[in-house]
């Protein structure tokens, strides 16, 4: 899928009764039986009518009872008020109503959904949404098609938390992963990103230790062939990730003493 294709709005059924309106920002709704549960609420309030029409086309007459925000960045919450006004939907985020570590379960006639806090990869309020019977996983901005999702510096502690969180996500064995932005992950992208990150960390830390310049290091870590079609990867994400890891290695924040 080219970057341009990825940015044309599409309505995708990722499972029976689970739809995603995929664009630059993604919104999803899950048919729980007699009501719907929404995951994330976009950046543009003017998309309200289009989104409500799409919801009605897949689940005529069913009310939206819950809106789950994976985090409350502006590009995930714009339609919260519209859902509240239209159906009296309950808006739920870890920032507004802190969840227990095991999360909150939503049980419908048709499926069960669990919202689980996994803070620290992108914001201190990150949650995932997991539909275990369908094996559909919504990760918000924890996965960014090649980006390091941290909004804090890459340091030993943040790096370890990031990799631990990815292992928890991979252990769920999802069949489909829906990120907050861009295409739905068709394959094993979470593990691929971990391998990519560890490869960059090892290669760059060794090159730093050998006294290579930034330009020499950048030339050494070309974008991997199998990731060249990742969304916006060649445009800027690979370069951004490499720059962050070079900085962290030069500062001694990550490197061989991590033992991987
Ligand atoms: Zn975000």
Q: From ligand 1's centre to the CA of 109, what distance in Å?
A: 31
pLDDT of residue 260: 45
Report in angstroms the alpha-carbon separations of 134 from 63, 94, 127, 129, 178. Answer: 21, 23, 18, 12, 13
Mean pLDDT of the chain: 95
pLDDT of residue 43: 96
Q: From ligand 1's centre to the CA of 61, what distance in Å?
A: 31
Q: From ligand 1's centre to the CA of 74, what distance in Å?
A: 8
Alpha helices (H) along the chain: 3-6, 48-58, 80-87, 156-171, 189-209, 214-220, 238-250
Quote the pTM value: 0.95
Q: How many CB atoms lie within 10 A of CB 214?
A: 15
Q: How many CB atoms lie within 10 A of CB 44?
A: 14
Q: From ligand 1's centre to the CA of 151, what distance in Å?
A: 9
Q: From ligand 1's centre to the CA of 254, what distance in Å?
A: 24
Q: From ligand 1's centre to the CA of 122, what distance in Å?
A: 7
pLDDT of residue 186: 87
Q: From ligand 1's centre to the CA of 73, what distance in Å?
A: 5
pLDDT of residue 257: 58
Positions of the chain with pLDDT under 50: 258-260
DSSP string, 138-152: EEETT--TT----SS
Q: From ligand 1's centre to the CA of 149, what distance in Å?
A: 9
Q: From ligand 1's centre to the CA of 131, what distance in Å?
A: 21
Q: Please report, to the nearest 10 degrees, the dihedral formed by the alpha carbons of residues 150, 156, 160, 161 taken in order.
A: -50
Q: From ligand 1's centre to the CA of 141, what distance in Å?
A: 5
pLDDT of residue 3: 85
Q: From ligand 1's centre to the CA of 112, what distance in Å?
A: 25
Q: From ligand 1's centre to the CA of 172, what distance in Å?
A: 22
């Amino acid at each position: 899928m080219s970057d341009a294709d990825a940015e044309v709005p599409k309505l995708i059924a990722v499972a029976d009764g689970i739809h995603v309106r995929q664009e630059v920002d993604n919104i999803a709704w899950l048919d729980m039986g007699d009501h719907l549960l929404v995951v994330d609420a976009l950046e543009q309030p003017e998309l309200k009518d289009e989104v409500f029409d799409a919801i009605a086309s897949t689940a005529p007459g069913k009310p939206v009872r819950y809106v789950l925000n994976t985090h409350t960045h502006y590009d995930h919450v714009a339609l919260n008020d519209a859902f509240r006004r239209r159906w009296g939907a309950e808006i739920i985020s870890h920032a507004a109503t802190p969840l227990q570590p095991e999360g909150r379960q939503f049980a419908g006639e048709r499926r069960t959904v669990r919202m689980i806090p996994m803070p620290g990869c992108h914001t201190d309020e990150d949650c995932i949404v997991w539909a275990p019977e369908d094996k559909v996983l919504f990760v918000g901005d924890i996965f960014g098609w090649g980006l390091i999702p941290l909004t804090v510096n890459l340091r030993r502690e943040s790096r370890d938390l990031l990799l631990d969180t990815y292992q928890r996500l991979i252990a769920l064995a999802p069949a489909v992963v829906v990120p907050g932005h861009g295409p739905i992950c068709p394959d094993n992208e979470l593990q691929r990103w971990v391998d990519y990150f560890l490869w960059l960390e090892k290669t760059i830390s060794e090159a730093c230790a050998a006294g290579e310049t930034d330009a020499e290091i950048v030339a050494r870590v070309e974008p991997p062939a199998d990731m060249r079609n990742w969304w916006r990867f060649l445009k800027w994400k690979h370069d951004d990730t490499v720059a962050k890891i070079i900085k962290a290695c030069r500062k001694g924040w990550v490197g061989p003493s991590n033992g991987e």
